């Protein structure tokens, strides 16, 4: 029989690669936990109308604060609604960019699908 003694085609080199992959995955998992804690503490702000409207989100994109300058209150409800929405979108875009950059740092060197 020609296939005897070959096992499953898993040589020592492959075992070493597998061990290294598991180590890297464990490092990524630990890093992900630290990243989650860091994002919870982070605050990302977005603005509209030159800073008259300011929205603050956590790094996890949870709303933290909305500030509206008194001088812009006379603009009317519709304008204020649009400005608050614009500030929210600004904060969301910034937080998404930060989150993506942090994930790329964390997974650097790993060829993960979809990242």
- In b/e form, how buried is each residue of 19-46, taking b as 16+ CB within 10 angstroms? eeeeeeeeebeeeeeebeeebeebebbb
Output DSSP code: residue 59.
T
- Left if phi > 0, otherwise alpha if psi is -120 to 50, otherwise beta: which for 43? beta
Distance CA 66, CA 48 (A): 11
Sorted by where each begins, the domain ranges of the chain are 12-107
* Contacts (Cβ under 8 Å, ≥6 apart) of 104: 115
CATH number 3.40.350.10 given to 12-107: no
Angle at 33 between CA 62 and CA 92, to 5 degrees: 25
Q: Which residue has the higher pLDDT, 46 or 29?
A: 46
pLDDT tens digits along 52-99: 999 999 888 899 999 999 999 999 999 999 999 999 999 999 999 988
Q: What is the pTM of this model?
A: 0.67
Q: How many CB atoms lie within 10 A of CB 55?
A: 25
């Amino acid at each position: 029989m020609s296939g005897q003694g070959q096992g499953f085609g898993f040589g020592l080199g492959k075992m070493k690669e597998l061990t290294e992959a598991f180590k890297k995955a464990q490092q990524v998992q630990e890093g992900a936990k630290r990243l989650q804690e860091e994002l919870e503490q982070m605050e990302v702000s977005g603005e509209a109308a030159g800073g008259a409207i300011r929205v603050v989100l956590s790094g996890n994109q949870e709303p933290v604060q909305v500030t509206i300058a008194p001088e812009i209150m006379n603009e009317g409800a519709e304008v204020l609604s649009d400005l608050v929405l614009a500030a929210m979108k600004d904060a969301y875009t910034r937080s998404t960019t930060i989150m993506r950059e942090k994930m790329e740092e964390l997974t650097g060197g790993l060829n993960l699908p979809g990242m």
